[in-house]
Structure 1
Amino acid sequence: MNEELIKNADACYRLAEQKAAQYFKSLSEQLMQKSYVPTLTKDFQSWKQNHIHHTFLSLFSRRTRKPDSKGYHNYIQWLNYTGKLDNYLDRSISYIFMRDLGKALDSPDTQKSIQRVVDSLKNHLTRSTVKEQGDKTETVNMAWLYREAQKEGIESTLIWVLNKLKTVSANIPKGMDAEQAQRKLIKIIAGVIMHELEEMSAEISQEERTQRLHKAIRIGYSYGLTYPFIDDLLDAKILSDKEEKQYSDLIRTTLITGSVPELGEWTGKNMDLIRYIHSELRDAFEYIKGHQPLETRNNFLEQSYVFFNSQEVDRVKDLINPNYTNEELYLPIILKSSSSRLIVRSVINATEDEGFDNRTFFYGIYNQLADDFADMFDDMQEGAVTPYTYYMKYHDKRLDLINPFELYWTVIFNLIHNVYHSDPKTCEVILDRAINGLKRFKERMGTKKYNEVMELFASGNPQFNRVIQNMVRKANDVDFFDKLLRDHIMTILKNERKEREDFVDTIENVRIQINNILKITKTDHDSFMKEPIIDAANYSLEGDGKRLRPIITWIMGIKEYGLKRSAIVPLLRSLEYMHTASLIFDDLPSQDNASIRRGRPTLHQVYNISIAELTGLFLTQKAIGEQASLDQFDAKTVLKLIQYSAQITEDMCKGQAMDLDSKGIQLTLDQLNMMSFYKTSIAFEASLIMPAILADAPELEIEHLRKFAYHAGIAFQIKDDLLDVEGDLTLLGKPIGKDAENNNSTFVSILGVDGARKAMWEHYCLAIEMLQEVPRNTTFLKHLLNYIVNRDH
């Protein structure tokens, strides 16, 4: 590497370190003088007027007792009912503008921006929480997100980033938290979008707005990728010492030279992981660099180098070393906490703002000390060196060590009175946040553990500590929306994960049980005649089929409609017999001429065309026979079901005929939708409607299920078309590229890959929206729909 470049990078870091040292010296002097104590005590005396209510007011308000803030919708309703919602949102959004956007709250423009966001958010929250109890609308779901993206014209970008997040999650190695990685990435992307939105003028055209949002999402992902694949990876001790050095040198070289070096030889056991990460980070780095003018590129590289190097300096610290100075503990924190936010404005080419740079530089350590306080026991368990873990371990041996809790309050004092010039609103918001952080810590750790922590960290200022603890015990109205939303989303994600696991377990368990009831047994007469039809039928049934249709019927029939398993076994068989028959016909040379089905040679290749045709007809008749044997239901109900089934079979045949007639002909989108309905949607519909018929469900419910099936089926077909051009033969169990080979019209051939993806997500949204109208637990169907659009086979 060029020696001059290395010297320049080191000089850049030393310059940043000198600035951090000056800041730290100023804080240390204020701490030693205890100048923060009388001023913050006075601040709290004024602050508590709005946060500690008189006893008679508390008694009066018992009728509107505060609900548990973990109940997201109830809590928002309570805030609105008690008239607290405006102030709650105002302090929450003000804090985000100060922390994430580096704004000064006394600016009239900032106040107007905050009010616009508050009004918009309040309107959304009050509309979304007036739904009747039991409504299944979720706070955050894919359908809502896609609809929001449509309004901005960035659906393709959303699809792109969702696929990227999925791939990143799949490549997170054991020893790292895939969900945490996704959350960090999403948070960074959201932060970059916020900065971009704040930079846009009101007069901007929709076209330019769309372009800038597209770029913000791509840049947010590109920058955010550094957290899981650099910071977290190096912290996780997954790489060997040799690999870690090689990887760190690669990152350092990139930031010093401005170019990503080739990976070269990699002898460690993590070669495949590093190859993927190197490729992804290289693309991300090139994207950021490619969207920066030359005059700001050096600034971006310098800030990134300071950020990375400060993390490296911190990372190599060892808790068993008793000799770190206060400067060694705190300077890297100041640097990494400020530079991480400065980079965000750099990557979006935001206009130069000296006020933002200064506020962000001084603010960073406040956030870092708050986070380290909340995580101190986890950090101690992992052996990580932070100001809190180091003080906990060595405070009785090193009297020179600065107490990080005292420094935290010094930073707060300095921010309020020196950086933000004693602005009342800034004082209000920062004190709100500080007390809320202590309240949350106390609630999480328990009173006993909390008191032990306070006894250690607050021992130097007993009088000031009494003021703080009085606020922690008595103060109200200090909670924040971002914490509520984070907790709510974490609950949703936790529930989603459990639901997904249950969904997968249910699918597999039910699939096994269905496989066990499908085999057709021979009679003595069949064995004597050596009849191949039953053998051929069982060969087709034994393939590695998904069994989605009978699984759907099983779940809906037994779990939702309360039908007996033994009563609907014939219906389950009939659905799979009918579906397998349709596949046999589809695969024939006269139709799709397929060679592989369900991972094995198609039936006409193993036997012959005539046997295949007869086997398909045989299974169709077996399906009717099974339906006719539903003897635990009213005869009229069974007759209604058979009539419905006959109609479905007719329609499926029409769909296949349409498909055959369309070969070599370019269909319109409407024609393709109709053909997909007959070929695919109608089979999903039958799986839902047949158990509903047996359960005598209301017609309106059946109609909603029909509409759900229509959109789910088309989404399924579009995904099939996408897999035919993008899929993996080993996962699909059938050749790819058959549609193009057979000159079939598909959603991809008509709309292109991007257009097909958009159409799939549109039908996904319509299906999800229809589920909201079904008066039953539709969790399984929601996850089925997620499986349909996210599957790789």
Structure 2
Amino acid sequence: MNDELIKNIDASYRQAEEKAAAYFKLLHEQVSQNTYVTTLTKDFKSWKHNHLHHFSLLSFVMRRKSEPDSKDYHHYIGWLDKKGKLDNYLDRSISYIFMRDLGKALDSPDIQCRIRRSVDRLKSHLTQSKLQGEKTFSMAGLYRFAQKEGVESTLIWVIGKLKTVSANIPNGMDAEEAQRKLIKIIAGVVMQVMEEMVDEVPQSERTERLDKAIRLGYSYGLTYPFIDDLLDAKILSPKEEKQYSDLVRTTLITGIVPELGEWTGNNKELIHYIHSELRDAFLYIKAHQRPEVRKDFLEQSYVFFKSQEVDRAKDLSNGNYTNDDIYTPVIMKSASSRLIVRSIIGASEDEGIDNRTFYYGIYNQLADDFADMFDDLKQGGVTPYTYYLTYHEKRSDLINPFELYWTVISHLIHNVYQSDPKVSEVILDRAINGLKRYKKRIGTKRYNEVMDIFASGIPELNRVIQRMVRKAEDVDFFDKLLRDHMITNLKNEQKEQKEFLDTVEIVRNQINNILHIPKSDQDAWMKVALIDAANYSLEGEGKRLRPIMTWFMGVNMYGLEKSAIVPLLKSLEYMHTASLIFDDLPSQDNASIRRGRPTLHEMYNVATSELTGLFLTQKATCEQASLKSFDSKRVLRLIHYSAQLTADMCMGQAMDLDSRGKQLTLEQLNMMCFYKTGIAFEASLIMPAILTGEEELNMKALKKFAYHAGIAFQIKDDLLDVEGDLELLGKPTLKDAENNHANFVSILGADGAKKAMWEHYCLAMEELQEVPHNIAFLKHFLKYMVNRDY
């Protein structure tokens, strides 16, 4: 490695270290002299007028009863709006983001105007309707936002990336947390870019910038799970950790990603994936940076990485670290992590923003370390709080981090933001809110024990603080609500998805066990041959999606007895398997492999295949006629409906055969797809609805859902035919091209097909809002359809 490069980057690090040390010295002096105590006490006396309200006991009790839990996202927003509190709530939330993430001062009319515009837009969005709120942070909501901004392809790209990253998070790391961090960082970079744009930017340029912002956000965000979290998790062996750290360090010093070389540790496959992904991310960032900005980016990244390394190397059993040892790296990494973003997006130079960002960083870091102190202590991590907890009784020289935290707050308000009243309001709101949330999370008893340790040295200020923690109102923030909502959603989604997939597997096995058609001694030899052929087709590794959907509808939605709908489940799979047998024939698609095995006509012959298809179709009708637990008129209606749909599916297959070599319109393709695929999904939903006497209006919504879900499913099939893995699919790829079949990929291209799939996904999700039942399983089914690999 070039010695000059090392010398230059080390000089940058030392310069950053000196700046951090000078900042810490300033804070240390203020802590030692307790000058902040009197100042903040006065600040709180002014602040409390907006937050301490006098209530009678009755009004206090009634208010507590009427206020919804903030975890109930939609009701809480509605309650704030009804009480006239939403404007102030959003104003302090947006103001805080302008300070923390954008490095802005709040005292200029221009910034106040921009905050007001942001508040108005967000309020309008949040209060449109409950449905809009539910869509906002769902995949459908995100895709609608992407459509509005013209970045659908970028969102589809990042969805695929997030899916792959989650799949590659090793045991010992939190895939859910990694995904949340990545999404948060992408959103942060997008916000920075949007703030840099003026309203007059043409839409084409806006789209281009947002596309780049999403990709840059992902590229930068990737470093958190795959550098910081990976090294913190101690998954790599000491030898691997050194080799990996050397790779990162070399990249930041030289600006060139070195080859991975020979990797001899147990994590070879993981490191190969990470190296490839981080290399592409780094190259993307470099390619979209001006040369004069790249130097700042590498220097800030090196400062962040090395200060993290310095902290990571600390051992909690070492009782000899100085205050400078503890705090200087914290200041460096907390400041540089946000300054990196500005260099990544190529933001215009602004000394004021850089200084405010630098001074602000440790405030956030100390707040986060306070909230996580006991988790960090369990893991043996060295933070200002864990170190003070461990050694404060033995070392009187140690600075109390809680006292330093309030010193930083005083310094920010009065020295960095020049005693601006709005800044004081927002920062004190945030500080009290953090303590209120912490107290609620760990309980009053433990909270008081923590305060006995950390606040005993500032009794006068602590009395004021704790009174505010007990009684202050209107100090909560939207980003915290959103974070809680997002974490809850991710956890619920993960739990529901696991339960869904577990149930799918159980039901699939149950269905596999009931499909076999038995033979008797009285059966004619030709019938025996057909039964063997039918069982051969039924025994293949099918997904059983249609009977599984019917099981969920019947059992989960309508509460039907599992045993009562067995004939219906069998009939659906018999009909579907019959359709595949016909589809595979030489006169139609001429397929040689189905469900990972030779097709029926390859194993037997064409005549047997044709007769087996007819045999299974009639067996399906027999099964439906044996639904004895239900009203006979409903069963008759179901059989009539089934027969009509079977006829329609034949028409769909005829359309498909007639389309060979023809250039179809999208409308024709959608129609053909519905008749071939969507109708079968519709049947899976409507048949159990018919048996239970479901209202026509609800069945109409289910039919619309099935229409869009069926098309989304078919588009995914068409994409897998081009991009899929033969081993996973169990059938050859590129069959449509071989048979000269028009499909969504051939008409729209792969990128256009993906957009169309997500459009139908959104439409299907939106139709589900009209169904007055528990439709969680249909949401997961739809998600499974568009994310499957086979």
TM-score range for the pair, normalised by the shorter chain length: over 0.9
Once residues 232 and 470 of structure 1 are traced to their aligned partners in structure 2, the CA distance between those partners, rounded to angstroms, is: 37
RMSD, matched Cα: 1.5
> Match of 2:94, as an amino acid?
I
Once residues 752 and 425 of structure 1 are traced to their aligned partners in structure 2, the CA distance between those partners, rounded to angstroms, is: 52
Aligned to 1:586: 583
Once residues 564 and 324 of structure 1 are traced to their aligned partners in structure 2, the CA distance between those partners, rounded to angstroms, is: 67
Instruction: Please state if 1:502 is matched with 2:503.
Output: no
- CA shift for structure 1 position 567: 2.8
Once residues 412 and 785 of structure 1 are traced to their aligned partners in structure 2, the CA distance between those partners, rounded to angstroms, is: 48
The worse-fitting range, judged by mean Cα deviation, of 725-734 and 660-669 is: 660-669
Counterpart secondary structure, 1:745: coil
Shift in alpha-carbon separation, 1:109–1:680, aligned structure 2, 3 A: same
Does the 8 Å contact 2:330/2:362 carry over to 1?
yes
Aligned to 1:474: 471
The worse-fitting range, judged by mean Cα deviation, of 223-232 and 68-77 is: 68-77
Once residues 498 and 75 of structure 1 are traced to their aligned partners in structure 2, the CA distance between those partners, rounded to angstroms, is: 24
Instruction: Please state if 1:171 is matched with 2:172.
Output: no
Aligned to 1:25: 25
Does the 8 Å contact 1:541/1:580 carry over to 2?
yes
Instruction: Please state if 1:87 is matched with 2:84.
Output: no
Aligned to 1:624: 621
**How big is each residue's C-alpha offset from its partner over 1:686-743, in whole Å with a ceiling of 9 and x where there is no partner?**
1111111111212222211111111100100000000011111111111111111212
Shift in alpha-carbon separation, 1:59–1:637, aligned structure 2, 3 A: closer
Once residues 528 and 732 of structure 1 are traced to their aligned partners in structure 2, the CA distance between those partners, rounded to angstroms, is: 35
> Match of 1:711, as an amino acid?
H
> Match of 2:670, as an amino acid?
N
Residue 237 of structure 2 is aligned with which of 237, 240, 243? 240
Does the 8 Å contact 1:169/1:182 carry over to 2?
yes
> Match of 1:122, as an amino acid?
K
Once residues 710 and 122 of structure 1 are traced to their aligned partners in structure 2, the CA distance between those partners, rounded to angstroms, is: 34
> Match of 1:3, as an amino acid?
D
Counterpart secondary structure, 2:128: helix
**How big is each residue's C-alpha offset from its partner over 1:17-36, in whole Å with a ceiling of 9 and x where there is no partner?**
01111111111111111110
Counterpart secondary structure, 2:523: helix
Instruction: Please state if 1:741 is matched with 2:738.
Output: yes
Aligned to 2:421: 424
**How big is each residue's C-alpha offset from its partner over 1:649-672, in whole Å with a ceiling of 9 and x where there is no partner?**
111111111111222222221111
Shift in alpha-carbon separation, 1:791–1:406, aligned structure 2, 3 A: same
- CA shift for structure 1 position 558: 2.5
Residue 295 of structure 2 is aligned with which of 281, 294, 298? 298
Aligned to 2:137: 140
Task: Number of aligned residue pairs: give it.
Answer: 789
Aligned to 1:101: 102
Once residues 639 and 280 of structure 1 are traced to their aligned partners in structure 2, the CA distance between those partners, rounded to angstroms, is: 57
Counterpart secondary structure, 1:27: helix
Aligned to 1:595: 592
The worse-fitting range, judged by mean Cα deviation, of 391-400 and 714-723 is: 391-400
The worse-fitting range, judged by mean Cα deviation, of 545-554 and 745-754 is: 545-554
Q: What pairs with 1:15-414 in structure 2 (closer than 5 Å)?
A: 15-56=15-56, 59=59, 62=62, 65-129=66-130, 137-414=134-411
Once residues 550 and 615 of structure 2 are traced to their aligned partners in structure 1, the CA distance between those partners, rounded to angstroms, is: 22
State TM-score, norm by structure 1. Answer: 0.98
Does the 8 Å contact 2:517/2:535 carry over to 1?
yes
Once residues 790 and 445 of structure 1 are traced to their aligned partners in structure 2, the CA distance between those partners, rounded to angstroms, is: 38
Shift in alpha-carbon separation, 1:710–1:99, aligned structure 2, 3 A: same
> Match of 2:212, as an amino acid?
K
**How big is each residue's C-alpha offset from its partner over 1:481-537, in whole Å with a ceiling of 9 and x where there is no partner?**
111111112111121112111211221121122112111111212276683110110
> Match of 2:756, as an amino acid?
A
Shift in alpha-carbon separation, 1:330–1:542, aligned structure 2, 3 A: same
Once residues 565 and 263 of structure 1 are traced to their aligned partners in structure 2, the CA distance between those partners, rounded to angstroms, is: 55
Shift in alpha-carbon separation, 1:284–1:136, aligned structure 2, 3 A: closer
Does the 8 Å contact 1:136/1:772 carry over to 2?
no
> Match of 1:35, as an amino acid?
T
> Match of 1:760, as an amino acid?
M
Does the 8 Å contact 2:9/2:253 carry over to 1?
yes
- CA shift for structure 1 position 60: 7.1
- CA shift for structure 1 position 57: 9.1
Once residues 75 and 697 of structure 2 are traced to their aligned partners in structure 1, the CA distance between those partners, rounded to angstroms, is: 30
Residue 711 of structure 2 is aligned with which of 709, 714, 719? 714
Once residues 634 and 430 of structure 2 are traced to their aligned partners in structure 1, the CA distance between those partners, rounded to angstroms, is: 63
Once residues 486 and 629 of structure 1 are traced to their aligned partners in structure 2, the CA distance between those partners, rounded to angstroms, is: 52
Once residues 707 and 561 of structure 1 are traced to their aligned partners in structure 2, the CA distance between those partners, rounded to angstroms, is: 19
Does the 8 Å contact 2:678/2:706 carry over to 1?
yes
Shift in alpha-carbon separation, 1:194–1:58, aligned structure 2, 3 A: farther
Does the 8 Å contact 1:9/1:305 carry over to 2?
yes
Once residues 654 and 39 of structure 1 are traced to their aligned partners in structure 2, the CA distance between those partners, rounded to angstroms, is: 81
Once residues 648 and 136 of structure 2 are traced to their aligned partners in structure 1, the CA distance between those partners, rounded to angstroms, is: 39
Shift in alpha-carbon separation, 1:66–1:631, aligned structure 2, 3 A: closer
Once residues 40 and 58 of structure 1 are traced to their aligned partners in structure 2, the CA distance between those partners, rounded to angstroms, is: 33
> Match of 1:11, as an amino acid?
A
Does the 8 Å contact 1:704/1:770 carry over to 2?
yes
Instruction: Please state if 1:728 is matched with 2:725.
Output: yes
Does the 8 Å contact 1:137/1:772 carry over to 2?
no
Once residues 664 and 530 of structure 1 are traced to their aligned partners in structure 2, the CA distance between those partners, rounded to angstroms, is: 39
- CA shift for structure 1 position 136: 10
Aligned to 2:609: 612
Does the 8 Å contact 1:574/1:623 carry over to 2?
yes
> Match of 2:37, as an amino acid?
V
- CA shift for structure 1 position 583: 0.6
- CA shift for structure 1 position 614: 1.1
> Match of 2:7, as an amino acid?
K
Counterpart secondary structure, 2:183: helix
Once residues 21 and 525 of structure 2 are traced to their aligned partners in structure 1, the CA distance between those partners, rounded to angstroms, is: 94
Instruction: Please state if 1:648 is matched with 2:649.
Output: no
Once residues 445 and 699 of structure 2 are traced to their aligned partners in structure 1, the CA distance between those partners, rounded to angstroms, is: 56
> Match of 1:46, as an amino acid?
S
Does the 8 Å contact 1:568/1:630 carry over to 2?
yes
> Match of 2:76, as an amino acid?
Y
Does the 8 Å contact 2:73/2:485 carry over to 1?
yes
The worse-fitting range, judged by mean Cα deviation, of 610-619 and 365-374 is: 610-619
- CA shift for structure 1 position 139: 5.0
- CA shift for structure 1 position 208: 0.4
Counterpart secondary structure, 2:522: helix
Percentage of matched positions with identical amino acids: 75
Does the 8 Å contact 2:126/2:133 carry over to 1?
no
Structure 1, gaps ≥5 residues long: none
- CA shift for structure 1 position 631: 2.7
Once residues 28 and 63 of structure 1 are traced to their aligned partners in structure 2, the CA distance between those partners, rounded to angstroms, is: 43
Aligned to 1:670: 667
Counterpart secondary structure, 2:740: coil
Structure 2, gaps ≥5 residues long: none
Once residues 465 and 604 of structure 2 are traced to their aligned partners in structure 1, the CA distance between those partners, rounded to angstroms, is: 83
- CA shift for structure 1 position 55: 3.4
- CA shift for structure 1 position 562: 3.0
Residue 516 of structure 1 is aligned with which of 506, 513, 518? 513
Counterpart secondary structure, 1:201: coil
- CA shift for structure 1 position 639: 2.1
Once residues 172 and 772 of structure 1 are traced to their aligned partners in structure 2, the CA distance between those partners, rounded to angstroms, is: 34
Once residues 139 and 664 of structure 1 are traced to their aligned partners in structure 2, the CA distance between those partners, rounded to angstroms, is: 42
Once residues 765 and 334 of structure 2 are traced to their aligned partners in structure 1, the CA distance between those partners, rounded to angstroms, is: 41
Q: What pairs with 1:477-496 in structure 2 (closer than 5 Å)?
A: 477-496=474-493
